[in-house]
Amino acid sequence: MVKTHLEPSATRYLAALPDADRTAYLTANPWITWSGGRASFDWGDFLTHVGARKKNVPSFDTFTLAAPENNLFGVATTKARHFTQWSLRKATGDDGARLDADLPEKIDLMNPMYFIERQNPGRSRHWFIRVGT
């Protein structure tokens, strides 16, 4: 992940900066090494930079329905619902349990990846999903 995605992205970003801006950026982020026109860093340093995980697994669809995300998928008669088949089945012990029929559309509306993958010339070119890194 670091060598395939993160370092090439950092390299493109840093290479496009004027020298003074690049120097300032690297001074503010000493965990990144700039050598030979390439950025490099290790996974541990990246994790320290972005911060510790905020949630454990399962992060969003908790077995106890205690996560705010479970409430997001609630309805008038039910405060919180499971929105992944995996958590639903683990929580109920029923390997045949199925999600409510209205959930796929609601999940698409709440999932930024649904919108990012769509052809939309007005969408942001750069984005970062912080929670769940």
DSSP designation for 65: S
The overall pTM is greater than 0.75: no
pLDDT in tens, the chain (133 residues): 789 999 999 999 999 999 999 999 999 999 999 999 999 999 999 989 988 777 778 888 999 999 998 999 999 999 999 999 999 999 999 999 999 999 999 888 887 777 777 777 777 777 776 665 4
- How far apart are the C-alpha atoms of 11 and 40, rounded to whole Å? 8
User: Residue 34: how many CB atoms within 10 A of its CB?
Assistant: 18
Helix (H, G, I), strand (E, B) or coil at 56: coil
- How far apart are the C-alpha atoms of 63 and 51, rounded to whole Å? 25
Which two structure tokens, joined as six digits, stand for 27? 């001074």
Which stretches does DSSP call E strand in the chain? 33-35, 38-40
